[in-house]
Amino acid sequence: MTHARTLPIRLAPHPGEALDSWWEAIAHRLGTTTGDVLASIGLLPRSPSKPVSSGVLGRLVTLLGTDQAAAIAWSAGATETEVHAMTLARYDGRAHVVDPQRRRVAARHVWGRPRGSHYCPACLAENSGRWLLRWRLGWSFACLDHHILLVDTCPRCSRMPRHFPATTRHPITPGRCHSPSEKDTPPARCGQPFEEVPALTLAAQGSVIAAQKLIEEAISRGRADFGVYQDHPQPSLALFGDLRALACILLRRSLTPTGWRASSPRRSWRCTSSPYRTSGGPSTRRGDPSGTPGPAAGRDRRPRRQRGPAHPRAGRCPPGRSRPSPPDQRRRRHHPAQGRAPVGPHQPGIRRDPPRDAGSPAQTQ
């Protein structure tokens, strides 16, 4: 960490704002780049020509050290408590688990994508493009203020926002997509205004809003004491583990007759591939007379010796080739000192030795 100095213009963080959104708003207010702001705070070295690794910025948003939080608070005019509250460590032990050594969220507690952020277009339009921290949680799917379903992709570049950290070498505009765009020539940043993205409106008294309220309440309190947990309250991490298991069961059952989900075949492969049997539906193996043409229903992950015959000729040798000999006979054939197995006309799997001359040493012995 380099030497820090106070910023000439200070900007108060928005309630519930993420740390990277805050320093982007400060950079936009100062008319400079985020790299200059982070270098002034002391979080990055003063080398604007050298690109910054995305892992460095991701670790800063996940967990801050004591010295880093103190430098940010001294330079930007915020308290250390406010600075720590803008990182994902705020939800450590309640919505996920943060690895303090690697400074990243443990993958086993993540539901959905480990990187990126959802967003509410109405919220971004009201707060001048300030991103909330709770949008990064996999369990955040609805906005309780505007009663709309959170959006997870950019309609122009089809990428999830915040999946790639914003550039630190060029000025950026809050509230616009910073993902690399392949539609522009030459390639540039997408620049899609997020406040113009349409979103699905939800019923204020509907089940989706009610479920989001229960989840946010469990995260804020750190425990679940409603429904089946009323008599025996459980930690919020146990609640999310149960929800994750229940969601996987529902995803397996919400399949088309061919065993694939029509919406996302790539995700359905991960959810429908059972470790010991294929998913429901007719068999579609090649050569199966009872199957119907189409994509495979799922891969059979059982050991080969436990699988049933998938073809009428399963277990037979191809035409023109003989069945391999048993292990004991194969061992004796390759090791003549242990004795040679008798060869008869009814053992086609044993290869006969070539005839020897009468005067050879082997014949005389």
**What percentage of the chain carries pLDDT values higher than 70?**
63
The strand pair at 234-235 and 142-143 is best described as unpaired
Please tell me the predicted confidence (pLDDT) of residue 46.
66
Is the confidence at residue 318, as pLDDT, over 50? yes
Please tell me the predicted confidence (pLDDT) of residue 270.
44
Please state, in angstroms and rounded to a whole number, the distance separating the CA atoms of residues 103 and 88.
Answer: 10
Confidence grade of residue 362 (pLDDT, cut at 50, 70, 90): very low
Is the confidence at residue 224, as pLDDT, over 70? yes
Angle value at C-alpha 2, between 161 and 39, nearest 5 degrees: 40
Determine contact, residues 67/201, Cβ cutoff 8 Å: no
Please state, in angstroms and rounded to a whole number, the distance separating the CA atoms of residues 162 and 171.
Answer: 16
Is the confidence at residue 326, as pLDDT, over 80? no
Is the confidence at residue 268, as pLDDT, over 50? no
Token pair 């119907």 is at which residue?
A: 292
The answer for 24, left when phi > 0, alpha when psi is -120 to 50, beta otherwise, is alpha
The pTM for the full model equals 0.66
Structure-model confidence comparison of residues 131 and 253, the more confident one: 131
Is the confidence at residue 238, as pLDDT, over 50? yes
Torsion of CA 36, 41, 46, 49, to 10 degrees: -30
Mean pLDDT over residues 321-337, rounded? 52
Question: For 51-65, 125-139, 339-353, which range has the lowest pLDDT when averaged over its residues?
Answer: 339-353
Token pair 């043409």 is at which residue?
A: 293
